[in-house]
Structure 1
């Protein structure tokens, strides 16, 4: 390479294998998402123990089940614009430490009020960590593998949630419900140390924001030694630029329809997921299953998210909006089937597993869809705000089931109502497909450059 060369960052990444350095970043971000899933789902799995030990009604659990979700939304909405200004790394490291410390503290709660406040604090860290982990890995991926790699990473969330259920089924009888929260907090604190030592800044962010060439060269040099003599770097975007950044870009005339449809689809997806994660153990126990069986069957639902790997590969080859919309449509059918088969465990198990595959696959794939929809100047905000708005769907899902239970809906009625959310997510993505982003007037192409 000539000494006076300019290097296109994305072309360099595309031209080299997904190597050891990128795999390390993937591993660190995967663990963040895994811990996010474990921690987010933990409260649902300990809920039956809270009912027994603290002698509270099921309807009283609404605020504590939703507190982390409000925190998740707040953390995502605030961290997205910040990450587009100050970078991804600092927010990831700080947020992982925050949710670890808050989760450990929540294990020492003695009242629902204390637990609610600490779950909100935990949620702030979870929301910021998840959103920025998605953005980070997307910005180190080859273009043709972005959806596959990002959705593979996001499989950590349902795996973490399923792991939480399996461990909770064993830990609660032996060590009590507080042990689940202790484990869910101590692990991210340890992982935060690794992140602080090893996690780099996003190279795409550094180029787009004019960071020093030497710093960019040092990071890219771990992908390819070809950059050692580069005098500067440029960044070519696949998504059209608008001249705005952050929230201004996300809500610009070019992107507003797609943004709103992403929000709606992700919102409804989390209505489904959190309604079932938080309430399925209780609903199945009321349907006649033993507490242990109800917990184990419920743990199959988030485990289905491993299907996101196949979905990501399909998204890289076919129309991503159509692929995810199909998953949501089929999920709606499966969710209705859970209510119908709840009385027969041999039928219930495969229906829960298949429904979990479809719902969690679709929802995990939404992260990759959002990350590829926006250019670098607005990617952090776009991904984080979609996740933030989606978290309100989690809140709505928790309260929805509480209200349906209060109104004495049958089990079939509860799951039929939840299935409607899947149909709405499907429709939203079809509308997004019909309204692709484009630049109005004469705006420059999405190319940033840096040289000295």
Structure 2
């Protein structure tokens, strides 16, 4: 029995729901921990007497760590397993966040945020991969996109908590809570989370754990000897990387990298700097984290996107989202001079479209790569993309530090959304070309036979 055929034939089980919930919480706390530093930045400026320029390295530290974590640690899951890397990464970012609450100056905080980022970068790609490998094919995009909604919901929840918690308990309380909760989750995953059955099958087709795990989805699993539906085999980390850059995947890989990079430029440029800009613009200080939270909360639109991607071309679905993102982001700046209501509507609209597209990219990548290189492909996309978060944070910091007008700032932020649209169209053309070449070669072989 092919493992995907088995998953496609079964009803969605309580065991799969448990996996979904744990992966959703990984994404939730990843989003919360990643965004928390932007919410506390105004208080750090006030308490430590720092400038906006001083904030740029601190805001970027976790993002740089996340990029390195995704690139270096993420691919190790193809060698040592999804569960092992998830546990290690969740432990690193939870403990790092808790220790960050004890920082006494910017230098200490930058170091601790970098360590936190190492775990953040490796966690989400592995969560996406593990869940996708337990999903029926016809619902995979919807289920994984819904799970990935945990990231923007976590980022948004952090903003809502910050608006209430920081004035009453200080900025340290936000970091402490953002660390304790994922630490508890990592303990739960240690005992409750299974390893990917696909990964176990790839390592040893006779592993009795495979029937045991899949038996929790359906008791009929115990009567089958499972196999993968493709010609995957165990490969080294280096071989996984070679697969990602092979002729079949190279154009798609670069398109995904640039697209993820561009999307995170927009997301972190807004989430990390909106609280500071709001305060400097003379608007109510508590609205900054709330607006950033509303922008991040738009990622729940990924559920609808997942449903659409299960039925239509995922490249086109994401391209449409990013095209309209560019329009909304470009109009945010002028909307500041229209009314607060118009500004909020455009901010929520841009957040919904941009985060919907961004949340859909990991499942698009997981579907794009073969089993033996799946985590490597997704991790490298997320890792390179995290540098976009750094670029967006630094670019926004430069513009804010030079007192650029809001209209100019958001026109610049609209450019990456246009780039995302082009990348999805290029990826689609490359895939059609590859499939066309494969079909032609297959037809030639059959004719010769």
CA contact (8 A) 1:240 1:439 kept: no
Shift of 1:297: 2.0
**Aligned residue in 2 for 1:412:** 407
Task: State yes or no: 1:234 paired with 2:227.
Answer: yes
**Aligned residue in 2 for 1:279:** 273
Structure 2 counterparts to residues 167-182 of structure 1, below 5 A: 167-182=161-176
**Aligned residue in 1 for 2:244:** 250
Structure 2 counterparts to residues 53-64 of structure 1, below 5 A: 53-64=47-58
Shift of 1:276: 0.4
After superposition, the C-alpha distances for 1:39-83 in whole angstroms (9 at most, x for unaligned) are 000000000000100001011100110100011111111123211
Structure 2 counterparts to residues 64-143 of structure 1, below 5 A: 64-143=58-137
TM-score (norm. length: structure 2): 0.94
CA contact (8 A) 2:205 2:227 kept: no
Aligned residues: 436
CA contact (8 A) 1:84 1:381 kept: yes
The structure in which a higher percent of residues are helix is 2
Task: State yes or no: 1:155 paired with 2:158.
Answer: no
How far apart, in 2, do the equivalents of 1:285 and 1:335 lie?
A: 20
**Aligned residue in 2 for 1:24:** 18
**Aligned residue in 2 for 1:3:** none
How far apart, in 1, do the equivalents of 2:394 and 2:106 lie?
A: 16
Task: State yes or no: 1:360 paired with 2:351.
Answer: no
Task: State yes or no: 1:336 paired with 2:330.
Answer: yes
Shift of 1:295: 2.4
- Aligned residue for 2:430, secondary structure, equals coil
For structure 1, the 5+ residue unaligned runs are 1-6, 446-452
Task: State yes or no: 1:300 paired with 2:294.
Answer: yes
CA contact (8 A) 1:241 1:439 kept: no
How far apart, in 1, do the equivalents of 2:18 and 2:325 lie?
A: 33
Task: State yes or no: 1:49 paired with 2:49.
Answer: no
How far apart, in 2, do the equivalents of 1:408 and 1:99 lie?
A: 34
- Aligned residue for 1:257, secondary structure, equals helix
**Aligned residue in 2 for 1:260:** 254
**Aligned residue in 2 for 1:323:** 317
Q: Structure 1 residues 245, 26: CA separation in 2 closer, same or farther (over 3 Å shift)?
A: farther
Shift of 1:238: 10
CA contact (8 A) 1:147 1:312 kept: yes
Shift of 1:285: 2.5
**Aligned residue in 1 for 2:446:** none
CA contact (8 A) 2:329 2:410 kept: yes
Shift of 1:223: 1.1
Aligned partner of 2:383 among 376, 388, 396:
388
Shift of 1:164: 0.2
- Aligned residue for 2:12, secondary structure, equals coil
Shift of 1:242: 11
How far apart, in 2, do the equivalents of 1:143 and 1:396 lie?
A: 35
TM-score (norm. length: structure 1): 0.93
Shift of 1:212: 3.6
How far apart, in 1, do the equivalents of 2:430 and 2:402 lie?
A: 39
